[in-house]
Structure 1
Amino acid sequence: MKKIFGLILVLALAIGLAACGSDDSNGDKNADGKDKESNTPETLVMGFVPSQDSDTIADTVEPLANRLSEEIGVEVQGKVMTNYNALVEAMGSNQVHIGFIPAFGYVLANEQYDVEVILKSIRHGSGTYKAQYLVRSDSGIESLEDLEGKIWAFGDKGSTSGYLFPASQLMEKFGYKSSAELESDFFSNITAAGGHDNAALAVMNGEADVATTFDDVRDTLEGDYPKIKEELKVIDYTDEIPNDTISVTKELDDELVQKIKDVFLSFNDDDEMIKIMNEVYNWDAIDEATDSEYDVVKETYQKFKDDISL
């Protein structure tokens, strides 16, 4: 009887040890399947927002994702989001780990979810750019004052150059206390076109009177619309805006973030990769970035925080 009891006790201990071993192995994983020590997802997701046709971007960024995957040893998937707000929220929920987001989107993501900027775009040798106001050349619109009562087209309310800086400039210039007042009292109507190119085309096609876009969206459209620079003219610009970013979620560990940064910076010496960056967002080069560079955007956002919403 004692032998039987001893055998049962040994078996019970063995089962218990096996269960503990199983629990320990699961304990090394977070709920989303990441290793707690390395904080490296099985698949890194890069998020993009269309500045052009969504299918075109999806196809274009695939070689970029593949190269990044090869270099860091982790599968990388490119994902095209519907708008900047969707991208910010996806990074907040850790569904997207690397985001190609403009300055305003970064400020929101940083404030709400501690997203970190690591890199910025360089265009025409500069880390800043301006937003422009586009109207039809035959519209008779010559100044910002002439926009009163007109239809305003912009890509997305989460866009720094498409919405935030133009809205801020117009509110200050014409004494509006909120963006809602600007939209309803100054303009006769507004339309969120879903991209800078779509906003410009809305004006060219007579669906809107003015489009606010990055400078100069017409360059990206000229191949398909050779007369666009004749048909659309720029009547004004905003102040300088920090260029768009490559930002990462707070969950990624420092070593992985450094690898991601190093790989992207190496693209400066890779004509094929820079060509892809240029095709997607007109990037000519990639440079390191710090949070303080986006203070001007934070100040603009804070000034109208209760009024400008996505």
Structure 2
Amino acid sequence: MSNLFHHLHRAVRGFSVAALVALSTVGAAHAQTVLRVTAIPDESPTELARKFAPLGKYLEKELGVKVEWTPVTDYAAAVEAVVNKKIDLAWFGGFTFVQANVRSGGKVVPLVQREEDEKFRSVFITDAKSGITKLDDLKGKTLSFGSASSTSGHLMPRSFLLAAKINPESDLKRISFSGAHDATVAAVASGKVDAGALNISVWEKLLSEKKVDPAEVKVFFTTPTYYDYNWSVHADMPAAMKEKLKQAFLKLSDATPEGKEILGLQRATKFVPTKPENYTGIKAAAENAGLLK
């Protein structure tokens, strides 16, 4: 009897091991059949989803995998999702990339960026009747940044204010954080704040869509250029998948209707390769401003 029990036990244990192997194989296959994508919420959730939809379809076709769009609540959530490998591909700003790179011990790497991101800029805006014409005029006034973790909506505007010998905490009446670039424009347009800082790409988009009247809200300072946004992945992504993904972005061209639509929504002329070294300036600015924890 005990012999029979022994054989049964071995059989059950053997089945369990086989089942676990089968399940882990399914899990591994699943990991390679789905590409989970997110983006920092620098614009409204509906706008982010609209921008990504055709790109998602294109990536499904190019990679032969299912693409899942996963919105996140804030910038920090986007960083954590990639660091913890809950997300495979993320649209980061320069600062969120640096945060993810540092948090992961260098394991989150930038893949591609728009050509525009090699020379990105921020704009400071104000009510056209405010009398603010230069950075120095902000002293004693109220200013809205975007998200605290935004490169173009906070970190770089702050670093250019500090370079102009203006301390946002002590020289301004009050600073606030709107959470997103379009919300910053709305705060200035409605008179909630005297001025705002946001990325030039969203500003130009809102102008072209006639969602802001340049006779009422104007740019009074445009920053020097810096590296910004990129599409980042975790270094543990299989090399073949990483290369296919990179090539899919690089071959997007406005010569095709599909490419034209995707690049238009991404506000890009084309995508170019990028590397961690491009973000040393952003990292230094974050450290100087005491924002890199």
State the TM-score, normalizing by the size of structure 2: 0.87
1:86 aligns with 2:83: no
Give unpaired runs (5+ residues) of structure 1.
177-181
1:170 matched to which residue of 2?
A: 161
Matching residue's letter, 1:308: L
> Compared with structure 1, are the counterparts of its residues 233 and 22 closer, same or farther at alpha carbon in structure 2 (3 Å cutoff)?
same
Q: Which deviations, in whole Å up to 9, do the C-alpha atoms of 1:127-147 show, x marking residues without a partner?
A: 212111111111101111110
* Pairing of 1:59-208 with structure 2 (within 5 A): 59-113=50-104, 114-123=107-116, 127-174=118-165, 176=167, 182-183=168-169, 185-208=170-193
Residue-by-residue CA offset, 1:35-84 (whole Å, 9 max, x unaligned): 2xx89354321112344331132134223212212221221111222332
CA distance in 2 between partners of 1:13 and 1:197 (Å): 64
Partner of 2:242: 257
Shift of 1:237: 2.5
Query: In the aligned structure 1, how far is the partner of 2:272 from the partner of 2:84?
Result: 27
In structure 2, the CA distance between the partners of 1:26 and 1:300, relative to structure 1 (3 Å rule), is same
Question: Is the CA contact (8 Å cut-off) linking 1:116 and 1:291 kept in structure 2?
Answer: yes
Query: Quick one: distance in 2 between partners of 1:41 and 1:224?
Result: 39
Indicate conservation of the 8 Å contact 2:109/2:233, yes or no.
Answer: yes
Q: Distance in 2 between matches of 1:173 and 1:309?
A: 21
Give the Å deviation of 1:117. 0.3
Quote the offset at 1:9 in angstroms. Answer: 5.7
Q: How does 1:16-95 map to 2 (within 5 A)?
A: 16-26=13-23, 28=25, 33=27, 35=28, 40-95=31-86
- What percent of counterpart residues are identical? 23
SS of residue paired to 1:40: helix
Instruction: Provide the aligned C-alpha RMSD in A.
Output: 2.6
Whether the aligned pair in 1 keeps the contact of 2:99 and 2:292 (CA below 8 Å) is no
Structure 2's unaligned 5+ residue stretches are none
TM-score by length of 1: 0.83
Query: How many residues are aligned here?
Result: 290
Q: Verify: 1:308 aligned to 2:291, yes or no.
A: yes
- Cα 1:54–1:66 change in 2 (3 A) is same
1:233 counterpart (196, 218, 234): 218
| CA–CA separation in structure 2 for the residues paired with 1:242 and 1:28 | 40
What residue is the counterpart of 2:270 in the other structure?
A: 285
Cα distance in 1 between the residues matched to 2:227 and 2:30:
30
Higher radius of gyration, 1 or 2? 1
SS at match of 1:191: strand
Q: In 2, are the aligned partners of 1:52 and 1:195 still within 8 Å (CA)?
A: yes
Q: Within 1, Cα distance between the matches of 2:53 and 2:76?
A: 23
CA distance in 1 between partners of 2:122 and 2:94 (Å): 12
Of 252-261 and 56-65, deviating more is 56-65
Give the structure 2 partner of residue 272 of structure 1: 258
> Which stretch of the first structure deviates more once superposed, 144-153 or 38-47?
38-47
